[in-house]
Amino acid sequence: MLDQEARYESYKDSGLEWLGVIPSDWALKKSKYVWREIEDRSAQGTEQLLSVSQYHGVVPSKSDSRSESLEGYKRVYPDHLVTNIMLAWMGGLGISDHDGLVSPAYAVYKLRDEQNAHFLGYLYRTKVYLAEFARRSKGVVPSRWRMYTDDFGQVLTLLPPKETQNRIVSFLDEKTAEIDAAIEKKRRLIDLLNEQKAILINCAVTKGLNPDAPMKDSGVDWIGEIPAHWDVKRNAALFDESKKSGTADLPVLSVSIHHGVSRSELSEEENLRSAIKIADRTSYVEVLPGYVAYNMMRAWQGGIGAVHTHGMVSPAYVVARPRGPIHADYFERLYRTDNFIGQMDQFSKGITDFRKRLYWEEFKTLLTLVPPMEEQVMIADFCQVIVDACKDAVKATQSEISILNEFKQTLIANAVTGKIKI
């Protein structure tokens, strides 16, 4: 329950179930009487290209390559409202602070009278207004919903007196900036946690866990010194390529650049392409726990990992079967460090990044660090502890970010709908 001191003197029923009561001196007006659509087209197409983000509103486009002419794009000026008619109901709209151009597929509106455009920008991105935009949008399914100008024009816009609008905008600009700064600090903390995790893992898999161990020159510039009792070997000494076909009853596993080899088959909900990937299992390759598998096209991005589940993988993957006792989890951690990913990148073949492939003939020539088996296990276990601790810390920080974001959205909604007095 809001403190009475934080409320306006009196309220009235808005007549809208989704909006509830509003301050007595606030008005409701159809949006077509607040905004008028404009069709100001660029003759040269030389202006700055803008985009409409669901998260940031109207911002300069990051993909302004000018490979195509922007002639005929719609001109936008500060305080104009721009909506992506396909995504307005998901927040794909905003007030522009820039001169520039937007896609002809967007709708651009100019205020008809003296309102604070940024107040309306805050208002239209609240949950209650986005829900109203969804109700007003036309289309068979959400992915085809469109909010056209006539639909938007029927939406009732909440209008406080102009001086109240100004106060609310000033208040929200200040408070949201403070919240955003707090969120940014927490995001930097997540980056630092992940950086620290990478440093600890890299040190463990390349230097071992004993800081007092005698060291020797590995003979490889990018590896540097390693414990004196470790070996440097080529992958061919550790693995053979396996091409044994899987059987229809085995799960199809995937290799992610983020998580390595999956431990179960992805459902269609989790992977929209799964039906295509498993349509013909005859060419898929069997994998056993302890093997290493990698995606030929993504190895240079870290698409490699240890196998923990008896299953099979796409023929686009390479399967490395150990020639003798190894602990595959250690080698996954090693292969996913920056230096070893760089080695896989160097030996991948292809003209451009999206065509690069690391074939077995190249993979088997790569240099690998080989500690004694007992140390491989200890290092892998240590790395898992580090990963779990970082995961917990990141999860807790992400939860704090979610709480801050929810608080910000609640604060905005309460301010622009008159639930609290500013």
Q: Write the pLDDT tens digit of every residue in 235-245.
A: 999 999 999 99
182-237 pLDDT per residue, tens: 999 999 999 999 999 999 999 999 999 999 999 999 999 889 999 999 999 999 99
List beta partners, residue 83.
Answer: 93, 107
Spatial distance between the Cα atoms of 110 and 95, rounded to a whole number of angstroms: 10
What are 101-158's pLDDT values in tens digits? 999 999 999 999 999 999 999 999 999 999 999 999 999 888 889 999 999 999 999 9
Residue bearing tokens 């240099």:
367
Topology agreement, domain 27-159 and domain 231-370: yes
- Cα 327 off chain centre by: 32
> Does the pTM exceed 0.85?
no
pLDDT of residue 66: 57
pLDDT of residue 86: 93
Residue whose pair of structure tokens reads 């690998």 in the numeric block: 368
Phi, psi of 52 (to 5 degrees): -115, 115
The region of weakest confidence among 233-247, 260-274, 354-368 is 260-274
Q: What is the pLDDT of residues 378-389, one digit of tens each?
A: 999 999 999 999
Strand pairing of 57-60 and 50-53? Answer: antiparallel
Residue bearing tokens 């199809």: 252
Q: To the nearest whole number, what is the mean pLDDT of the chain?
A: 92
Quick one: residue 381, left, alpha or beta (phi over 0 = left, psi -120 to 50 = alpha)?
alpha
Residue 394, C-beta contacts closer than 8 angstroms, at least 6 positions apart: 190, 193, 194
C-alpha 68/C-alpha 399 separation (Å) is: 42
Burial of 134 (0-12, 13-18, 19+ CB in 10 A): middle
Residue 64 pLDDT: 62
For the segment 316-355, what is each residue's pLDDT rounded down to a tens digit?
Answer: 999 999 999 999 999 999 999 999 999 999 999 987 777 8
Q: Which long-range contacts (CB under 8 A, 24 or more apart) does 400-406 make?
A: 400/186, 401/183, 401/186, 401/187, 404/179, 404/182, 404/183, 404/186, 405/183
Task: Give the CATH architecture of domain 231-370.
Answer: Alpha-Beta Complex (3.90)
Nearest by Cα to 298 from 341, 265, 331: 341
Q: Give the chain's count of helices (H) and strands (E).
A: 9, 25
Q: Model confidence over 89-100: pLDDT tens digits? A: 999 999 999 999
Side-chain-side CA neighbours of residue 151 (13 Å): 18
Taking only Cα atoms into account, the Rg of the chain, rounded to an integer number of angstroms, comes to 29
Work out whether strand 252-253 and strand 311-313 pair parallel, antiparallel, or are unpaired.
Answer: parallel
Q: What is the DSSP string of 370-420?
A: E--HHHHHHHHHHHHHHHHHHHHHHHHHHHHHHHHHHHHHHHHHHHHTTSS
Per the CB < 8 A criterion, the answer to whether 83 and 54 are in contact is no
Give the model's pLDDT for residue 34. 98
Question: At residue 67, does pLDDT exceed 80?
Answer: no
Q: Is the pLDDT of residue 4 over 50?
A: no
Question: What type of residue is 121?
Answer: G
Kindly report the CATH number that applies to the domain delimited by 27-159: 3.90.220.20
Domain ranges of the chain: 27-159, 231-370
